[in-house]
Amino acid sequence: TPAITGSTVWVFLFDPDFGPVNKVLGLGDFSWTYGRYSAFALVLLEVLWCSFPFVMVTVYAGIRAIPAEVLEAASLDGASQWRIWRSVTAPILRPILVVVTIQSIIWDFKVFTQIYVMTNGGGIAGQNLVLNVYAYQKAFASSQYSLGSAIGVVMLVILLAVTLVYLRLVRRQGEEL
């Protein structure tokens, strides 16, 4: 789902007055977006919910790509299911899991919409700020364009480092194949 749609649905689900989650859990008028940690937990769950399909389809494709002969040979050699997982399946899936993890970090680094929509622009007194929301607030809400752009440059450097690690791992994976 688009980030704005998913965030709006999650805000409704956890709304203190009308949300079905509070009614089912019997929490009354507990506001999930008011507290620092509960708001971050809510955003984390929504981001995980949105990224779950990509991760699971990719890992499932990796599992399906494992040759049945390799698993059968390990089984015929007397390996238990745990041993097959640890010695055969996990090493074959490791490059896929590393690439998926780094790609998820890159995608989740740009979580702006979820924080902004679910905490009304960063939470009460800015308690739920992440770098990109903080940069937005400084650049556009406070008209401190130089500070906002400096934060953007720092984010660019961090993402560049993560991307270089990702490209290195993808190149190494290509050489192993």
Quickly tell me which residue has 């690439």 as its tokens.
Answer: 99
Q: What is the pLDDT of residues 120-177, one digit of tens each?
A: 887 776 777 888 888 988 899 899 999 999 999 999 999 899 889 888 877 876 666 5
Round to whole Å and give the CA distance between 105 and 91: 21
Q: What is the DSSP string of 33-48?
A: TTSHHHHHHHHHHHHH
pLDDT for residue 125 = 65
- Whether residue 53 is predicted with pLDDT greater than 60 in this model: the reply is yes
Average pLDDT score, the chain: 88
pLDDT for residue 36 = 85
Round to whole Å and give the CA distance between 122 and 35: 12
pLDDT band at 105 (very low <50, low <70, confident <90, very high): confident
pLDDT (average), residues 80-93:
93
Domains of the chain, residue spans: 3-176
Q: Output the pTM of the full model.
A: 0.75
Quickly tell me which residue has 């399946």 as its tokens.
Answer: 89
Query: What number of other Cβ atoms are within 10 A of residue 70's Cβ?
Result: 13
Amino acid at 126: G
CB 40 within 8 A of CB 115: no
Q: Which CATH architecture has domain 3-176?
A: Orthogonal Bundle (1.10)
Please list, in sequence order, all residues whose beta carbon lies within 8 angstroms of the beta carbon of residue 22, skipping any fewer than 6 positions away.
14, 15, 16, 28, 29, 30
pLDDT band at 80 (very low <50, low <70, confident <90, very high): very high
Q: Which one has a higher pLDDT value, 169 or 66?
A: 66
Nearest to 169 by CA among 105, 92, 103, 106: 103
pLDDT for residue 74 = 92
pLDDT (average), residues 67-84:
93
pLDDT (average), residues 3-13:
91
- Whether residue 44 is predicted with pLDDT greater than 70 in this model: the reply is yes
